[in-house]
Chains A and B, each alone.
Chain A
């Protein structure tokens, strides 16, 4: 169905793709894997018609394709569901699904009733029941995902490209999605499935292609390749163990953070937890359980409506980020682009961010000192960039995340909170970040890690606290830390 031959694409200073060839057959689900920065996003945008390749040819449905816009690609049957979604928050579900292809009545005017009706039907076919008039901004992320996929179903789609479709859904919704994909495959539609979750790639794909550093490493039939082999193709080296060793004494430090009956708005109802020095505590739960709100509240970014926070020996009923930083706390936020990085600045500025006083001499910023600090961190964490003056926006997600972690790791003395630290990050960078976390913990910092990836939770945590709807439903240690127990607590009705 789709054949790419020798595709190359460069941006100023960066060669995103060189000579990539790929073939997606009809009636096939083809997986595309690779580290961040491997070129997957660029390839997708070329397939979608958003970028034009510098070199190479594209063949779609046995005809050469030179798309000048996403609109043209769509007309030919190529639909892309992007990781960041291309939804319109103020418009309704039905409007989002049919935007650009609104059902019309005989006069050529938009038929709103039909739009709503057909939207509801499409969603039901995907196994989702949503109010077609609901504003998309009011939906959960998982529901928004379904709206995106429903939108792709509107037209006769020949090639469906899914970019990290399961990044924000789990369990039942993933199963439903896969079921739908299998049905599409049976009807002759081709699917290009991009994902970091190798288990899922093995579960649903027929073949898989590996990209690394903008080049094609290889394409294999799913039955003929093993997970470790795939990983080594992606990373180019043997990773060994992904998760660092857990010291036996991890849980025995003194408490560095304690909360008592903390409530934050209506997302966090009543949280009393304790974090000890040297410990990595994972905060698990479904999307919407209130974990991110708790993290923001602990750091002072959201106001606490009830309860107290105790950091070390000091107790507070209200806290601010400035105060939190003074107390030696750090927060790696969930969305690095909008909440963590200064996207228009360079690496050095992003590292020195919270501690400008440190690089200020007589009222002026000492750029050389700032650069030296950044260079030190770049080397220490193996951050891939051209130097301390590299613009942060041009770096891959994994490296951007390393910059943020480096920023806080430098100044954190007591508590480091990380919200989904390895989301959307390649395996190589993941391993690095895990290593950094454990090193910090061994140095006496208490680490609170919010994560929705259960392998990560099980692999990293000394203790697991599970939240649901703003309350703690349970705590797990040692042998009790299993996927099943965590999921049970994350979805159970009983509070601890």
Chain B
């Protein structure tokens, strides 16, 4: 197998699957192929894409962030709760929420380093804490978002959905970060072999702060987007995102143990998942079967990925 093919096998695999879904969709309905539907799917990928991008970074470093769902709930509630219909508050609240997300991420990183505990445990605990804080703030839908804010979710820029475009721009920035920042390359190293990284003197603290900080930022962005989409923040809105954020990461070719992969694959995989859901909607498949179908995709994709890992 030529080297370029081997290195990008997962990306090509995802694109192949996207093509397959389109082929099947073409048979099912010609509305499926319409440009409007493409934009539709693109738009519906936004929330999953945003949170998965941050998760990709964390997984690359050899860790995992299980606090994402709760952080999304918290940030979306704070957004609508603090703005509470007042357009003057939009900018400060957006800035504060993004800052909060980043700070939570930094705290995660700090705990991992200071306590020498696996990120899985730290972020799991942090997630529980954040959910508790969210419920302290709001037991049900809280506040509201002024008309202009919905633009974030429903608006168009150059004909493309704004939210989704922001997600794409964010992933491009992060991909550049990974490639051109020395710290970016060091993320891969720490994920590949943490012990070697320590022996070689890599700044693990800085690396972890970067990845968890970014993940927190992405969660806050997701929370903002959801507040814009639903017009109101809800305390349990993020619950499904924790596990859901891992699927595109794995499907996109990032190895769970870290050290290999990237955000491009994650983005494509998130699109694939949305597309697949979209197809199932066109086929009138009940939402419950959709969950089963998604789970089957994950199992199939992971088993292919495991085969690939063993070959190396």
A residues with CB within 8 A of B: 48, 50, 69-75, 80, 82, 85-91, 95, 99-100, 102, 104, 109-110, 112, 137, 151
With the chains together, A250 CA to B16 CA distance in Å?
62
Which of B184, B189, B260 has the largest count of A CB atoms less than 10 A from its CB?
Answer: B189
Q: Which residues of B contact A48 (CB under 8 A)?
A: 199
Q: Which of B24-32, B110-118, B154-162, B190-198 faces chain A? A: B190-198
Q: Which residues of B contact A112 (CB under 8 A)?
A: 179
B259 touching A71, Cβ below 8 Å: no
Question: Residue on B with the closest CB to A96?
Answer: B189
B259 touching A86, Cβ below 8 Å: no
With the chains together, A70 CA to B200 CA distance in Å?
7
Q: Which residues of A contact B192 (CB under 8 A)?
A: 88-91
A100 touching B200, Cβ below 8 Å: yes
Q: Check if B188 is an interface residue, CB within 8 A of chain A.
A: yes
Pull 10 A–B residue pairs with CB atoms less than 8 Å apart, ordered by A.
A70-B200, A70-B201, A80-B199, A85-B196, A86-B196, A99-B185, A100-B200, A100-B202, A110-B179, A110-B182
Q: Which residues of B contact A110 (CB under 8 A)?
A: 179-182, 184-185
A100 touching B199, Cβ below 8 Å: no
- B residues 169-216 in Cβ contact with A at 8 Å: 179-182, 184-186, 188-189, 192-193, 195-203
Q: Check if B88 is an interface residue, CB within 8 A of chain A.
A: no
Of the candidates B200, B260, B312, the one whose C-beta lies within 8 Å of that of A86 is B200
Nearest-CB distance from B187 to chain A (Å)? 11
B259 touching A74, Cβ below 8 Å: no
Query: Chain B contact residues: over half helix, strand or loop, or mixed?
Result: helix
Contacts A110-B179, A110-B180 given: A90-B188 contact, CB under 8 Å? yes
Question: Residue on B with the closest CB to A115?
Answer: B185
B182 touching A88, Cβ below 8 Å: no
Contacts A102-B185, A104-B182 given: A50-B259 contact, CB under 8 Å? no
B residues with CB within 8 A of A: 179-182, 184-186, 188-189, 192-193, 195-203, 259-260, 312
Of the candidates B182, B195, B259, B260, the one whose C-beta lies within 8 Å of that of A102 is B182
Contacts A104-B182, A109-B180, A110-B181 given: A88-B188 contact, CB under 8 Å? yes
Q: Which residues of A contact B181 (CB under 8 A)?
A: 109-110
B193 touching A71, Cβ below 8 Å: no
Nearest-CB distance from B88 to chain A (Å)? 38
Question: Residue on B with the closest CB to A133?
Answer: B3
Q: Which residues of A contact B312 (CB under 8 A)?
A: 137
Nearest 7 A/B pairs, CB to CB: A71-B201, A86-B196, A109-B180, A86-B199, A88-B192, A102-B182, A70-B201
Q: Which residues of A contact B197 (CB under 8 A)?
A: 88
Of the candidates A72, A82, A90, A109, the one whose C-beta lies within 8 Å of that of B199 is A82
B201 touching A95, Cβ below 8 Å: no
Q: Which residues of A contact B193 (CB under 8 A)?
A: 86-89
Nearest-CB distance from A267 to chain B (Å)? 14
Q: Which residues of A contact B199 (CB under 8 A)?
A: 48, 50, 70, 80, 82, 86
Q: Which residues of B contact A75 (CB under 8 A)?
A: 201
A69 touching B201, Cβ below 8 Å: yes
With the chains together, A112 CA to B198 CA distance in Å?
23
Q: Which residues of B contact A71 (CB under 8 A)?
A: 201-203
Nearest-CB distance from B1 to chain A (Å)? 13
Question: Residue on B with the closest CB to A85?
Answer: B196
Q: Which residues of B contact A95 (CB under 8 A)?
A: 185, 189
Question: Residue on B with the closest CB to A102?
Answer: B182
Contacts A70-B199, A86-B195, A137-B312 given: A99-B184 contact, CB under 8 Å? no
Contacts A70-B199, A74-B201, A100-B202 given: A88-B189 contact, CB under 8 Å? yes
Q: Which residues of B contact A86 (CB under 8 A)?
A: 193, 195-196, 199-200
With the chains together, A104 CA to B183 CA distance in Å?
12
Contacts beyond the supplied A91-B192, A99-B200: 16 A-B pairs with Cβ under 8 Å = A80-B199, A85-B196, A88-B192, A88-B259, A90-B192, A90-B259, A90-B260, A91-B185, A95-B185, A95-B189, A99-B185, A100-B182, A100-B186, A100-B201, A100-B202, A102-B185
Nearest-CB distance from B265 to chain A (Å)? 15
A99 touching B259, Cβ below 8 Å: no
With the chains together, A72 CA to B201 CA distance in Å?
8
Nearest-CB distance from A85 to chain B (Å)? 8
Nearest-CB distance from A161 to chain B (Å)? 12
Q: Which residues of A contact B259 (CB under 8 A)?
A: 88-91
Q: Which residues of B contact A80 (CB under 8 A)?
A: 199
Q: Which residues of B contact A99 (CB under 8 A)?
A: 185-186, 189, 200, 202
Nearest-CB distance from A474 to chain B (Å)? 33
With the chains together, A71 CA to B204 CA distance in Å?
11
With the chains together, A88 CA to B199 CA distance in Å?
12
With the chains together, A69 CA to B206 CA distance in Å?
15
Question: Residue on A with the closest CB to B201?
Answer: A71
Q: Which residues of B contact A151 (CB under 8 A)?
A: 200
Q: Which residues of B contact A109 (CB under 8 A)?
A: 180-181
With the chains together, A73 CA to B185 CA distance in Å?
22
Nearest-CB distance from A84 to chain B (Å)? 9
Q: Which residues of B contact A91 (CB under 8 A)?
A: 185, 188-189, 192, 259
Q: Which residues of A contact B182 (CB under 8 A)?
A: 100, 102, 104, 110
Nearest-CB distance from B172 to chain A (Å)? 15
Q: Which residues of B contact A69 (CB under 8 A)?
A: 201
With the chains together, A270 CA to B199 CA distance in Å?
42
